[in-house]
Amino acid sequence: MIRFYIALWASKLLYAINRLRGNARDDRPGLLAFKICPDFLARVAKPKLVITITGTNGKTTTSTLLRNQLVDAGYSVSFNDWGANLHAGYCLNLLRAVTIFNKPKMDVSLLEADENTLGHTMGMIEPNYILVTNICKDSLRRNGHPEYIFDRIQKAFEKLGGKTTAILNANDPISRQLAENTGTPRIFFGMADAHTNPFENRVNDLGVCPVCGGDVEYNYRHYRHIGDYYCPDCDFKTPESDYYATSVDLEGRSITIKERDGSEHEYPLISETIYNAFNVLTAVTVAREVGIRPEAVAAFLETQIVTKIRETCIKYNGIEYHTYGTKSQNVSAASTVFEYMAKEPSVKEVVFCLDEVQDRNHPAETLTWIYETDYEFLKSPNIKKIICAGHMYLNHKLRLLLAGIPEEKIFCVEEDERVPDFVDTEGIDKVYVLFEIDYVVKGGRWRDNIVRRAMELNGDDPSKLDSFDYFDNDSNGASNVKEALN
């Protein structure tokens, strides 16, 4: 116990110092607590409500939505809004929620959790809810295979049993199997056919039926392996949903959700993409489970946008310049973004900022994800040019050529400062800078420099362009769109 209090006080002191220095988004206080007291997560007191959000894709957007919803409803919430989702981040999150005497001082701890850590952390934390967004193909370097991640998350439910409630995606045939035969209550969310007409992917995350080994078939798919599925040879199929989106209007940005008691409620969507419709569905599910009224949830969602860590836009001279989060080394996330680029109808140029920070420290890079990702989607005629930038530019060029992209549409540059020179603003509607999530600020800088060059060519003063603050907690009513020279 003495070691625990030393860890608590030392980490709180370091956190206070970081705040005074304007560096509160630093999880080293949590790392200090963990090093001094390895069982810190078990000993630190917990708020009355602890919610863990995990899964391959959608964690950050769903967590941010839910955090903002809870604050809007009057809860005090401890949340690492910059995505510190490992041991140090959990420790920091929880130490902020208690006093120096280890007494809870916040209502909620909201934990965005890396799925690889759940097996040996959640048993100590004992959250009230664990939400799993989905399980898909991810980084080979970190996660290897969906079955491996499934086993890691399943261990958490086996340890917790009835101490937690699982909130699961009925449309994901992989993660919907979690918490079976563990004594864990399960709540399912699902969605009716949104008529997205998804492309066929190179990688199928669900090769065979997990029950009998037969072929799984679909009544419809939303994207990748997410949809309404069944096995003709056994009883494996999509389970009934407690929260079911009976209709989804992506263009009109609305979703109608039927609850287990038969009541239906309409909610706004934060974007026109199917994966963000799922993020809204999951956030609504949790909000309703903790008792927030449907009218309050709907009114809140009217004020929300996609988190600026994932997407921003500057409009200048009739052209939209976007940053768009794209997880490199994550096959499912990158392919989904490429599919969106193909289907989004505007004439556009696409800039790749898809290097990973750690790659510069590893001479032997893990490149298999490039060949499993659907670069073929980028053959769309509405993509006028693809600019490959950064130290992996030649790898991306080779993969684009193998995907059948004409070489005259591919432009390559390694130096950051030269990226704007390759963007042509004639005859296009939009420019998308696709950035690896570790490069959120770098991707924004590239986009801003592209806009500044366009302003110079048009005779405007580029110094008048204000950059985004990507880490402003995405407060209610904030906009991810700026007008240059407004």
Q: Higher confidence at residue 481 or residue 373?
A: 373
Quick check: is 315 in a domain? yes
Which of 301, 319, 346 represents a domain boundary (last residue)?
A: 301
Could you tell me which residues are beta bridge partners of residue 191?
245
Tell me which amino acid residue 358 is.
Answer: Q
What phi and psi values does residue 315 have, to the nearest 5 degrees? -105, 130
| pLDDT tens digits, 392-419 | 899 999 999 999 999 999 999 989 899 9
Identify the domain containing residue 115 by its residue range: 2-199+236-301
Quick check: is 74 in a domain? yes
To the nearest 10 degrees (0 to 180), the angle between helices 294-301 and 59-72 is 120
Summarize the confidence of residues 354-379 as an average pLDDT. 76
Indicate whether 297 and 321 sit together in one domain: no
Is the four-CA dihedral 358, 359, 365, 369 of positive or negative sign? positive
Residue 82's pLDDT band (cuts 50, 70, 90): confident
Summarize the confidence of residues 2-10 as an average pLDDT. 96
Residue 435's pLDDT band (cuts 50, 70, 90): very high
Summarize the confidence of residues 432-440 as an average pLDDT. 89
Do the bridges between strand 383-389 and strand 481-483 make them parallel or antiparallel, or are there none, so unpaired?
Answer: unpaired
Structure confidence at residue 172 (pLDDT): 98
Tell me which amino acid residue 117 is.
Answer: T
Structure confidence at residue 486 (pLDDT): 62
pTM for the model stands at 0.90
Structure confidence at residue 399 (pLDDT): 97
| pLDDT tens digits, 317-346 | 999 999 999 988 888 889 999 999 999 999
Q: Is the pLDDT of residue 363 over 50?
A: no
Indicate whether 427 and 395 sit together in one domain: yes
Structure confidence at residue 437 (pLDDT): 81
| pLDDT tens digits, 46-63 | 999 999 999 999 998 999
- Element (DSSP H or E) covering residue 229: strand 226-230
Indicate whether 260 and 326 sit together in one domain: no
Distance, CA of 88 to CA of 35 (rounded, Å): 9
Q: Higher confidence at residue 25 or residue 79?
A: 79
Which of 276, 301, 326 represents a domain boundary (last residue)?
A: 301
* Helix %, strand %, coil % of the chain (to 5): 40, 20, 40
CATH of the domain at 475: 3.90.190.20
Indicate whether 181 and 330 sit together in one domain: no
- Are 409 and 383 a contacting pair, CB within 8 Å? yes
List the structure tokens of 470. Answer: 């990507």
Q: Is the pLDDT of residue 477 over 70?
A: no
Do the bridges between strand 254-259 and strand 226-230 make them parallel or antiparallel, or are there none, so unpaired?
Answer: unpaired
- Are 397 and 410 a contacting pair, CB within 8 Å? yes
CB atoms within 10 A of CB 199: 18
Closest CA to 173 of 201, 124, 127, 136: 136
Q: State the number of CA atoms in the 13 A half-sphere of 100 facing the CB.
A: 7
Summarize the confidence of residues 268-294 as an average pLDDT. 96
| pLDDT tens digits, 212-262 | 999 999 999 999 999 999 999 999 999 999 999 999 999 999 999 999 999
Indicate whether 358 and 275 sit together in one domain: no
